[in-house]
Chains A and B, each alone.
Chain A
Amino acid sequence: MSKILILAQHDGVTINQATAKAVTAAKQIEGASIDLIVFSDNIDTIATQACKLADVHTVHAVSTESNQWKLATGISTKIAELASEYTHVFGPSTTFGKDVMPCIAAILGLNQISDVMQVIDAKTFKRPIYAGNAVITVNAPQDKIVATIRTASFKTNDMTTGSATIQNHENSNTQTDTKFIELQSGNTERPDLQTAAKVISGGRGLGSEENFELMYNLADKIGAATGASRAAVDAGYCPNEMQVGQTGKIIAPELYMSFGISGAIQHLTGIKDAGTIVAINKDGDAPIYEVADIGLVGDLFKIVPELMEKL
C-alpha cells in the first residue's frame, strides 16, 4: 500500500490551493493513504485549516520559527525524518516546493521526479522536459519516491469537508545560517494568477508600464488575474511574479486572453493547459495563433477599450 506524505504550502494565513492539487495527484495512486506536513510559527491556526482538506488522514504540525518555516534549510531535515514511514513524499511544483523537495531527495539519497503531470501508477509518472516539447514516462525502481506535482495538471481537491487529525511535532532543525528577511509582494487584490479561472496577459506589445494599466483595468472588469510574457517583465512593464512560462508560472485557467504577446515556445509552455486561449496581436503570423482557440488580429489599443465596453 502507498503511504503518501504531502508538504503543505501556505502564506502564513491560508493553505495554498497548490497543496490541494497535490492531494488530487496522490489520490490517483491506488489505495493511497494521504497525510500532510505543515510548518508555521502560527501552527495551530494553519494546522486546523489543513485538516479541512478532504481525503487527508493526519496533519503533521511542526511549530517552526517565523524566519525559518519558508526555507528549505529550515524544514527539510524534519520532512526527511518523517519520510521513513512513507512510500512517497510529494510537494507542489511551486517555487516553495521546488526549493525544498530536492533537499529531501538528497537527504534520502534519491533522484526527484520533478513536475509530475500525470500519474500512471504508484511508481510511474509522466513529466515534461525541454520546455514541454517532449513528455517522458519515468519509472522509479526504488522503494521511496520524492516528487513535485505540476499544479496546472491537476484539479483542486476539496478544501472544506476534511476531518484529519493533528499530530504535533518539534522541529529538529537547529541551523542559523539561513534567515528569511522579507517578502515584497505586488497587488493582492486581484485573483491569484496560479489558480484564477480567468487571466488577462500582456506582452511587449503594450509598450510601457503606463499602458499596462489597460491590462489591469480589463482584468478588474471581468474579475481576472493578470499575467505577462517574459519580454514585458524584462522591459519593466510589470513585476516578475506575473511572468507566465517555462521559468515563470505554469497556469491552467478556463480563459487566457493574451494581448501583444507573440508566443515564444517558453511562454506557450506556461499556458498549454488553459481551457480557451484568446490571442490578440497586430502580427497575424505570431506563433501565439498556433495554440489560440480564438484569434483576432489588430491594434490592442483599439481592441481593449472596445472589450471594456462589451464584456
Chain B
Amino acid sequence: MKILVAIKRVVDFNVRVQVKPDGSGVATDGVKMSINPFDEIAVEEALRIKEAGKADEVIVVTIGNNSAQQQLRTALAMGADRAILIETESELQSLKAATSLLNVVEKEQPGMVIMGKQAIDGDNNQTPQMLATLWKRPQATFVSKLEINDDTLLATREVDEGLETIEVRLPAVISTDLRLNEPRFVKLPDIMKAKRKPLDIIAIDETLSGFEDKELTIQKYETPQARQKGIMVESVDELVALLKEKGLA
C-alpha cells in the first residue's frame, strides 16, 4: 500500500502573527516557516505504518511556491520516500486545494491519504473532508489512534463528547489530531540523504483541468479586539469579594 501525505508550509506556530497596518493581510516577510504541526503528525503516522510493515511507500505532497521544497525536504528527512510539489504562486482556498490533491490521488492510487485536520494559518478545517468527498471515499477526521486491519481501519476520533471509534474501508482519507503521535526529530545524516530523494514538480494548472473556482473574497484583515487589562488581587478574600460583587459567587 502507498500512503500519500499532504502537508502545508505555514508560519511557525511559535510566531505571533501581526496584521499589516493597511489591513491587506498578515505580515509574513522574514517570518519563520514550518510544516503545519498537524501535517507533521501525519508524516510521522505514515512512517510508523510503513515501519510496521503495513505500507511500502510514503509519498509527501504539497501545494505552494518554490520555497515549499524546504518543507518537503524536511518530510523526506523524516523518512518519506519521495515528494511532489504542486507549484503555484497564489494562495489556494480549500476546494481548489482538494481538487488539485485529488488529481495526484488519482494518479498515485494510494491506499490512504493522511493530512492534518487543519492548517494553523487559515484554521479552515476543510480540505481533508473535501478531498474525501470528491474522491468518493470514507473519511476519518480528528484521529488520535489508528489500527489497520487488511482493507479496513479502526479510527479513534477526538470529538467534543469524548473519543469516538469508527470503522472505515480503505482507501480513505485520515485527518490527524494532536495526540495521534509525537513526530520524530530529524537527524543531520537524514537531511543529507533527503537531498538525493526524488522531488517532482508539477504546475498546478496540470492538476486542475475543468475546475471552476468559486473563491471567497477576503475584504479586510484586522487585529481582534483586545481584552481590557484586569486587576491583580493579593488574597483569596479579595478575589471572593470581587466575584460576589460581579454576581459570580
| Contacts from A to B (Cβ < 8 Å) | 11, 70-73, 76, 94-96, 98-103, 105-107, 109-115, 124, 128-142, 175, 177-186, 194, 198, 222, 230, 233-234, 239-241, 246-247, 249, 254-255, 265-266, 272, 275-278, 289-297, 303, 306-307, 310-311
Q: Report, as a range, how many residues of chain B touch the other chain.
A: 35 or more
| Contacts from B to A (Cβ < 8 Å) | 11, 13, 16-19, 26, 93-95, 98, 117-118, 120-127, 129-130, 132-134, 137-142, 144, 154, 157-169, 172, 177-179, 212, 214-224, 227-240, 242-243, 246, 248-249
Cross-interface CB contact of A138 among B157, B168, B178, B218, cutoff 8 Å? B218
* Interchain CB contact under 8 A, B214 and A241: no
- Taking the closest CB of chain B, its distance from the CB of A26, in whole angstroms, is 19
* Interchain CB contact under 8 A, B19 and A106: no
> Given that A134-B19, A134-B26, A141-B217 are known contacts, is A178 also in contact with B168, CB under 8 Å in the complex?
yes
A142 to B172, CA, bound (A): 30
Cross-interface CB contact of A106 among B98, B140, B215, B220, cutoff 8 Å? B98
When distances are taken between beta carbons in the complex, the residues of chain B under 8 Å from A124 are 219
* Interchain CB contact under 8 A, A180 and B236: no
When distances are taken between beta carbons in the complex, the residues of chain B under 8 Å from A230 are 178
Residue of B nearest to A307 (CB): B236
Interface centre among A76, A129, A278 (most CB of B within 10 A): A129
Residue of B nearest to A175 (CB): B138
* Interchain CB contact under 8 A, B216 and A140: yes
* Interchain CB contact under 8 A, B236 and A310: yes
Residue of A nearest to B163 (CB): A184
Extra inter-chain contacts (14) besides given A11-B161, A134-B17, CB under 8 Å: A72-B139, A101-B129, A113-B216, A130-B11, A139-B218, A175-B138, A178-B167, A181-B165, A247-B177, A266-B13, A272-B224, A291-B227, A294-B243, A296-B232
When distances are taken between beta carbons in the complex, the residues of chain B under 8 Å from A240 are 144, 158, 162-163, 179
- Taking the closest CB of chain A, its distance from the CB of B44, in whole angstroms, is 15
A310 to B243, CA, bound (A): 11
* Interchain CB contact under 8 A, B231 and A294: yes
When distances are taken between beta carbons in the complex, the residues of chain B under 8 Å from A292 are 230
Cross-interface CB contact of B221 among A71, A134, A247, cutoff 8 Å? A134
